[in-house]
Amino acid sequence: MRIEKIYRYPVKGLSAEAMEAVALAPGEMLAHDRRFALAQGDAPFDVAAPRWLSKRNFGCLMANERLALLHTAFDPHDGSLAIRAPGAAPFLGDTRTEEGKVAIARYLTDFLGPEARGEPRFIEAPGHRFSDVAMKVVSIIGLTSLHALEAEAGMALDPLRFRANFYFSGGRPWAEFDWIGQEIQIGQARLKVVKRIVRCAATEVNPETGKRDADPPRDLRRHFGHADLGVYAEVLGGGQIALGDALEPMMLDL
């Protein structure tokens, strides 16, 4: 089993950034992954006292499929966020200043139109990440499991529908579910698999077109008796993971 794709998502709900390698630290997510979010105007999120809130409080594909049409690029060196909408000139915002965050929020709010609730804020909170789960984890999907779903659904499914950090090849379908509570080694990093990922309506959205043209949760339940694809893992021992690195369950008989 080997790592085929690595992605991070600097802004919750916006586009992925492909990476060739990443350094993981114990107890942390990928650097800059889900660092920012567009908080809806009615979201009770306090940047001075951050706490986990469900995705419905933020711009997300589950509720705002049009966000898939935006292509973004974050530069951690200068804090710039580039956003490109179809048929529009690129927008460049500065995530380091309040003025810049206000401008980014205004741009995203205008793009969402009626789906924006109240006065949305573009936010970050030091040490906090806008993950779909309360703990800091990375997400891992086996491509053989995805292919098993595609075979039953009768259609190809872009892996980016599922917004994972790591995609690996090899192994048997659904093998990653057997790793719950077990440790795995990927490259130089050691992780503990903690839970399966329950899939939601975000996966209905085609990341290329922004249209809801599939129903993976329904197909998972119909053909496999659950709505899960992929697993979350906590980083126990840090180190670098690169494309092509082996993924090895530790002390587990496959």
Going along the chain from its start, the domains and CATH numbers come out as 2-28+133-249 (2.40.33.20), 37-123 (no CATH)
pLDDT value of position 251: 64
pLDDT digits over 17-74, tens only?
999 999 999 999 999 999 999 999 999 999 999 999 999 999 999 999 999 999 999 9
The percent helix, strand, coil of the chain (3-state, each to 5) is 25, 30, 45
> What is the pTM (predicted TM-score) of this model?
0.94
Angle, helix 216-224 to helix 143-153, in steps of 10 degrees: 90
Q: What percent of the chain has pLDDT over 90?
A: 98
Q: Which pair of structure tokens corresponds to residue 32?
A: 């800059």
Q: Which of 254, 140, 145 is nearest to 197 (CA)?
A: 140
Residue 172, classed as helix, strand or coil, is: coil
> Which of 167-205 are b and which e, b meaning 16 or more Cβ less than 10 Å from the residue's Cβ?
bbeebebbbbbbbeebbbbbbebbbbbbbbbebbbbbbb
pLDDT digits over 161-209, tens only?
999 999 999 999 999 999 999 999 999 999 999 999 999 999 999 999 9
